[in-house]
Amino acid sequence: MSASLTHRKQLDIAKIRNDFEILSENANGRPLVYLDNAATSQKPRQVLEAVDAFYLHANANVHRGVHFLSQKATTKYDAAREKIQTLLGARGPEEIILTKGCTEGINLVATCMSSPNSPLGSSERRQPYLGVGDEILLSNMEHHSNIVPWQLAATRVGATVKVIPITDSGEIDLDAYRALLKSGKVKVVGIVHVSNSLGTVNPVREMARLAHEAGAIVIVDGAQGGPHLRVNVQDLDADFYTLSCHKLYAPTGVGVLYGKKQLLEGFPPYHGGGDMVRTVSFEETTFAPLPAKFEAGTPNVAGVIGLGAAIDYLASLGAGETLAARLDSAFEKIHARERELTEYAMGRMAEIPGLRLTGTAPGKAGIISFVLESVHPHDIGTILDGEGIAIRAGHHCCMPLMARLGVPATARASLAFYNTTEEIDALVQGVYKVKDMFDREAAPAARR
């Protein structure tokens, strides 16, 4: 293969790693091996520079001032929203609601679905979308952020949360899902696109189709879907899709809620405040059109501009005439790279005696959870940390999933495209060190 062809089809990892300066840091005296990307990704220099440039040269509040800087800030802010629209394949920018995180997006939907949309200043009472006896289906692998908001909503209106079971390999039990939909009472289906604990890529398009046939609305938690997949909300036919942007190479404090225009328009507002209103009086208040209706108060302007820069950065890894085409081509490369790393890691980890992988769905994303016989994940985490290797140990905010798997916690290595096979080798070596440490006294103890 010629060099130029390689360049066109593959990511230039050495160049990319230069963009992520933090990857050259040391941790506990060893070269950092960052394998906690599902918790948060690192940020490329280009994103940090965009945030810096905003504060240095364009800082002002948005959608308010007539002055030069405010217009400059507003232009940058609105441009970022259009980039997000392209990233997700939404029909228009009004379907992109900027939030402070994925969690807030889900809370917005759950709260609005369980609150009456009565006009302010009128005696008319309208019923919430969710009511007594309605059912909310959530999969057994949901993150707490796609469980608790629905429990709160269910309590508010007298609805019931039901669980879509999963198989031992960590996949949705589609037959059980179909059966649950037959109750005729299901109004909402909440499903994680890519499981943050298992790496499973769920059949969201098929699940949405089935949900719609049953008359239910589908909300997809895309916290891990966004970084790993080329998402198109129209193709998935998701009614709502949420992103956690600090997992998508952007700064913390920014999330995205995509929602179908018609549904968002039917919702009551979530937060009240500045920017989300058309007119305010003590007698009657009317609301701004989308997306402002759901964006009360000054938003995280710098963070959103950073997100715009993160999308541009991802696009720069691809080629094409338009942003959409560059993102298509970039995600093709990212996906190929992450597949290669994931398969390598799964293969190497599976060779370690006494190690059990949790989550072995075919085609899974680069999230590798595991448990070791007789070593608690926290001890694995601490010992790997001593080797400069960052992983996550715990329940990953998925306590119901841990209960289903029959473990209190797992250790989780999560990959990004900038990781290398050498880093995976370091992880494997680190796990052997954990085993050595815990086994070193096992033999004499067994003799006692």
Residues paired with 165 in a beta bridge: none
Q: In 58-120, which ranges are continuous DSSP H helix? A: 68-88, 102-113
Decide whether 155 or 374 has the Cβ nearer to other proteins. 374
Give the Cα separation of 232 and 220 in Å (integer): 12
Candidate list 349, 387, 411, 419; residue touching other proteins; CB under 8 A: 387
Catalytic residue among 102, 112, 245, 397: 397
User: Smallest distance, Å, CB 441 to other proteins?
Assistant: 5
Question: How many Cα atoms occupy the beta-carbon half-sphere of 167 within 13 Å?
Answer: 13
Helices and strands, counts by H and E, the chain? 17, 17
**Judged by CB under 8 A, does residue 383 bind other proteins?**
yes
Query: Given the rule CB under 8 A, which of 143-151, 270-278, 279-287, 369-377 is the region that contacts other proteins?
Result: 369-377
Strands 255-259 and 389-390: unpaired
How many residues belong to the site for other proteins (CB under 8 A)?
Answer: 26
**Judged by CB under 8 A, does residue 162 bind other proteins?**
no
CA 417, 40, 310 angle in degrees (round to 5)?
Answer: 65
- SS3 category, 191: strand
Strands 160-164 and 33-34: unpaired
Query: Given the rule CB under 8 A, which of 197-205, 226-234, 419-427, 436-444 is the region that contacts other proteins?
Result: 436-444
Candidate list 6, 10, 24, 28; residue touching other proteins; CB under 8 A: 28
Question: How many Cα atoms occupy the beta-carbon half-sphere of 58 within 13 Å?
Answer: 17
Query: Given the rule CB under 8 A, which of 71-79, 199-207, 287-295, 435-443 is the region that contacts other proteins?
Result: 435-443
Candidate list 374, 421, 422, 429; residue touching other proteins; CB under 8 A: 374
Check: CB of residue 125 under 8 Å from CB of residue 135.
Answer: no
Which of 298, 434, 304, 281 minimizes the C-alpha distance to 370?
Answer: 434
Give the Cα separation of 74 and 93 in Å (integer): 14
Decide whether 162 or 433 has the Cβ nearer to other proteins. 433
Candidate list 379, 404, 425, 428; residue touching other proteins; CB under 8 A: 379
Structure tokens at 231: 């998402």
Reported in sequence order, the residue ranges of 21-104 that DSSP labels E, i.e. its strands, are 26-27, 30-31, 33-34, 96-99
**Judged by CB under 8 A, does residue 283 bind other proteins?**
no
**Judged by CB under 8 A, does residue 402 bind other proteins?**
yes
Give the Cα separation of 417 and 364 in Å (integer): 15
Binding residues for other proteins restricted to 187-226, rule: CB under 8 A = none
Decide whether 245 or 383 has the Cβ nearer to other proteins. 383
Candidate list 89, 93, 203, 394; residue touching other proteins; CB under 8 A: 394
Is 102 assigned a catalytic role? Answer: no
**Judged by CB under 8 A, does residue 393 bind other proteins?**
yes
**Judged by CB under 8 A, does residue 66 bind other proteins?**
no
Candidate list 408, 420, 425, 428; residue touching other proteins; CB under 8 A: 408
Candidate list 375, 411, 416, 424; residue touching other proteins; CB under 8 A: 375
**Judged by CB under 8 A, does residue 443 bind other proteins?**
no
Give the Cα separation of 28 and 381 in Å (integer): 13
Binding site for other proteins (CB under 8 A): 28, 374-379, 382-383, 386-387, 393-395, 399, 402, 408-409, 433, 436-438, 440-442, 445
Catalytic residues: 397
